[in-house]
C-alpha cells in the first residue's frame, strides 16, 4: 500500500477551547467533524507563545533555544530564523518520495524550497532586512495595490485561493502528498468576517473568570504594569467583547477554509489514506487576567493549543481523546511514525508515538515549554506542565517563579510556589524544569542578548 498522504491545517493564535464541540459557542462544524472522526488532544501545549519561535521549533522538532530562534525577527534586535543548517521534518517526507506543498504563512524567515517544500512561496514576514525573497516583495506590492483600490484581500483569503487552485489541478499519482495550509487567522488585527458576523453578538460574549478575579497578588510585577499602562491594557469591557466576537468570526472563517480543503481531498479520493493534523502555533489571552493578545505570560489561554489528528487507512487509536499533555515539537515525529518513516533524532524521540496504542495515560507525562521576548518586553522563562500542575521559572531580571494547581485553580489565579502544602511538588517540578533547561543547552540572558546571537551567527 502506498504511504499515507499528510494534510496539515495550521492556524495562528487560536485558543484551545474555541471550538464548537468544546465551548458550544464557536461555529466550527468542520473541526467538530474532524474531532469526531479523529483523536482530540485537549492538553496539547505549544513549546513557545510567540509565532516564529513556535513555528521554527515545530519544523525542526527542537525547542526554540535548541534551534536558535528565540524571538520574532525585529524584537529587541533579534534576527534569528531557520537556515540550511536546520533539518526540518518536511525534508524527511520529501526524501521519502513525497510531493511537498505549502500555502500560507510560514514565519520561518527562509525560502520554503530550501526547507523541504517542492511547492511553496514565502508570502509572510519574519525575514531579516535585505533577505526577503522576490515572491514576498511582490506579495507586499500586490497587497498595497489592493488596499489602495479598496479591495480587501491578501493574507488568509489569498492563501486559501492559491492553495485550493493548486489542489484542484493536482492529479494523485504514485507519490504520496504532503500538503500544508497555514492561515494567519485568527491572529490580530481582529476584524469582522461578514459571513459569520450575525452568529456572534458582542453582548453575548462570555468573558474569562480571571478578567474579573485577577488581583496580581504574588504574580510577576510586570503583569500589572502591562495591564495598567502597557500594550496589553484593556480599555473597557465593551471593546473586549467586540474583539472576542470578531475573533470568533475569524475562527469560523478558518474552519470554513479547513472544510474546503478537506472536501478537495475527498473529491480526489485522498481522504481515507491521509493523516490529518489541525493545530496552531499558540493561543491568545483574550481578556484573561485582564490581558490582551500574547507574549511574556505562561498561562493556559496562550500555551494550551487546539490539536486534532485523523489517522490514515490501517491505523487506529484506542482512545478518541488523549488527555495527557503533549508538546507541539513532538507532532512532527508522530506524523513521520504514522507514515511509516524511520526518522533521526529529535523526531524519533516524539512522546506522542505510542499514545494511540495505550488505553490510558502512563500517569507521569510532562512537557517543557519556554518564552523569551515579545515586542513589548523581555521576560524570559521556562517551565514544565503535567496534567494537573504547572511550574514556571523566570531566568532574567524578573528572577521569580510561578506554580499553579490546574485542577483546583484552572484559571491560574493563585500562585502556590510558596505554599508549604505543595513543597514536594515544587521541589520535583522545579528540579525537572531546571534539568531540562540545562541538559538541552539553555543559556542565560547575556548569551541571548549578545550581538553574535542576535545576528544569527551560530546559524550560518
Whether the CB-CB separation of 432 and 384 falls below 8 Å is answered with: yes
Looking up cell 491505523 gives: 315
CA distance 235 to 287: 11
- The pLDDT value recorded for residue 32 is 98
CB atoms within 10 A of CB 6: 24
CA distance 76 to 296: 14
- The pLDDT value recorded for residue 227 is 83
Note the residue count of the chain: 460
Q: Environment class of residue 342 by beta-carbon count within 10 Å: exposed (0-12), middle (13-18) or buried (19+)?
A: exposed
**pTM > 0.75: yes or no:** yes
Residue-wise pLDDT tens for the chain (460 aa)? 789 999 999 999 999 999 999 999 999 999 999 999 999 999 999 999 999 999 999 999 999 999 999 988 878 788 778 888 899 999 999 999 999 999 998 888 888 888 999 988 665 555 555 555 545 545 555 555 544 443 345 688 988 999 999 999 999 999 999 999 999 999 999 999 999 999 999 999 999 999 999 999 999 998 888 888 766 677 689 999 999 999 999 999 999 999 999 999 999 999 999 999 999 999 999 999 998 878 789 999 999 999 999 999 999 999 999 999 999 999 999 999 999 999 999 999 999 999 999 999 988 899 999 999 887 789 999 999 999 999 999 999 999 999 999 999 999 999 999 999 999 999 999 999 999 999 999 999 999 999 899 888 766 5
- The pLDDT value recorded for residue 401 is 98
Listed by start position, the domains of the chain span 5-367
CATH of 5-367, one of 3.40.50.10860, 3.40.720.10, 3.40.710.10, 3.30.499.10: 3.40.720.10
Whether the CB-CB separation of 270 and 2 falls below 8 Å is answered with: no
Whether the CB-CB separation of 392 and 223 falls below 8 Å is answered with: no
Distance, C-alpha 267 to centroid of its chain: 29
Q: SS3 for the chain, per residue?
A: CCCCEEEEEEECCCCCCCCHHHHCCCCCHHHHHHHHHCEECCCEECCECCHHHHHHHHHHCCCHHHHCCCCCCCHHHCCCCCCCCCCCHHHHHHHCCCEEEEEECCCCCCCHHHCCCCEECCCCCCCCCCCCCHHHHHHHHHHHHHHHCCCCCCCHHHHHHHHHHHHHHCCCCCCCEEEEEECCCCCCCCCCCHHHHHHCCHHHCCCCHHHHHCCCCCCCHHHHHHHHHCCCCCCCHHHHHHHHHHHHHHHHHHHHHHHHHHHHHHHCCCCCCEEEEEEECCCCCCCHHHCCCCCCCCCHHHHECCEEEECCCCCCCCCCECCCCEEHHHHHHHHHHHCCCCCCCCHHHCCCCCHHHCCCCCCCCCEEEEEEEECCEEEEEEEEECCCEEEEEECCCCCCEEEEECCCCCCCCCCCCCCHHHHHHHHHHHHHHHHHHHHCCCCCHHHHCCHHHHCCHHHC
Q: Environment class of residue 197 by beta-carbon count within 10 Å: exposed (0-12), middle (13-18) or buried (19+)?
A: middle
- The pLDDT value recorded for residue 458 is 66
Whether the CB-CB separation of 182 and 103 falls below 8 Å is answered with: yes
Whether the CB-CB separation of 358 and 319 falls below 8 Å is answered with: yes
Q: Environment class of residue 352 by beta-carbon count within 10 Å: exposed (0-12), middle (13-18) or buried (19+)?
A: buried
Whether the CB-CB separation of 282 and 51 falls below 8 Å is answered with: yes
CA distance 422 to 427: 9
Cα dist. 299→340, 386, 388, 409 in Å?
35, 14, 14, 12
Amino acid at each position: 500500500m502506498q504511504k499515507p498522504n499528510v494534510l496539515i491545517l495550521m492556524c495562528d493564535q487560536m485558543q484551545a477551547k474555541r471550538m464548537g464541540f468544546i465551548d458550544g459557542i464557536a461555529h466550527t462544524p468542520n473541526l467538530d467533524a474532524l474531532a469526531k472522526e479523529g483523536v482530540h488532544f485537549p492538553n496539547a501545549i505549544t513549546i513557545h507563545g510567540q509565532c516564529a519561535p513556535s513555528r521554527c521549533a515545530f519544523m525542526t522538532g527542537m525547542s526554540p533555544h535548541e534551534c536558535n530562534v528565540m524571538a520574532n525577527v525585529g524584537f529587541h534586535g533579534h534576527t534569528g530564523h531557520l537556515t540550511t543548517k536546520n533539518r526540518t521534518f518536511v525534508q524527511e517526507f520529501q526524501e521519502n518520495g513525497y510531493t511537498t506543498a505549502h500555502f500560507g504563512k510560514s514565519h520561518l524567515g527562509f525560502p520554503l524550497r530550501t526547507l523541504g517544500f517542492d511547492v511553496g512561496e514565502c508570502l509572510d514576514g519574519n525575514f531579516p532586512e535585505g533577505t526577503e525573497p522576490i515572491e514576498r516583495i511582490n506579495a507586499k506590492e500586490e497587497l498595497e495595490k489592493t488596499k489602495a483600490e479598496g479591495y480587501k484581500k491578501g493574507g488568509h483569503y489569498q492563501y486559501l485561493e492559491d492553495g485550493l487552485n493548486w489542489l484542484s489541478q493536482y492529479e494523485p499519482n504514485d507519490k504520496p502528498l504532503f500538503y500544508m495550509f497555514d492561515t494567519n487567522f485568527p491572529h490580530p488585527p481582529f476584524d469582522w468576517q461578514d459571513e459569520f458576523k450575525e452568529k456572534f453578538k458582542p453582548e453575548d460574549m462570555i468573558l474569562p473568570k480571571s478578567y474579573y478575579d485577577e488581583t496580581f497578588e504574588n504574580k510577576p510585577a510586570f503583569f500589572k504594569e502591562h495591564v495598567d499602562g502597557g500594550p496589553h491594557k484593556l480599555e473597557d469591557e465593551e471593546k473586549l467583547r467586540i474583539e472576542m466576537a470578531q475573533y470568533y468570526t475569524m475562527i469560523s472563517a478558518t474552519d470554513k477554509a479547513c472544510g474546503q480543503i478537506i472536501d478537495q481531498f475527498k473529491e480526489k479520493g485522498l481522504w481515507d489514506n491521509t493523516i490529518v493534523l489541525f493545530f496552531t502555533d499558540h493561543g491568545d489571552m483574550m481578556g484573561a487576567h485582564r490581558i490582551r493578545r500574547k507574549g511574556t505570560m505562561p498561562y493556559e489561554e496562550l500555551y494550551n493549543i487546539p490539536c486534532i489528528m485523523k489517522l490514515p487507512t490501517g491505523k487506529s487509536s484506542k482512545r478518541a481523546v488523549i488527555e495527557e499533555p503533549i508538546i507541539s515539537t513532538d507532532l512532527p515525529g508522530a506524523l513521520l511514525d504514522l507514515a511509516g518513516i524511520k526518522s533521526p533524532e529529535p523526531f524519533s524521540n516524539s512522546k506522542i508515538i505510542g499514545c494511540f496504542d495505550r488505553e490510558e495515560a502512563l500517569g507521569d507525562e510532562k512537557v517543557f515549554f519556554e518564552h523569551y521576548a515579545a515586542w513589548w518586553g523581555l521576560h524570559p522563562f521556562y517551565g514544565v506542565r503535567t496534567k494537573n500542575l504547572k511550574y514556571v521559572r523566570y531566568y532574567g531580571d524578573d528572577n521569580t517563579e510561578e506554580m499553579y494547581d490546574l485542577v483546583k485553580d484552572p484559571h491560574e489565579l493563585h500562585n502556590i510556589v510558596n505554599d508549604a502544602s505543595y513543597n514536594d511538588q515544587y521541589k520535583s517540578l522545579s528540579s525537572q524544569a531546571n534539568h531540562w533547561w540545562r541538559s538541552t543547552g539553555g543559556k542565560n540572558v547575556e548569551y541571548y542578548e549578545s550581538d553574535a546571537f542576535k545576528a544569527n551567527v551560530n546559524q550560518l
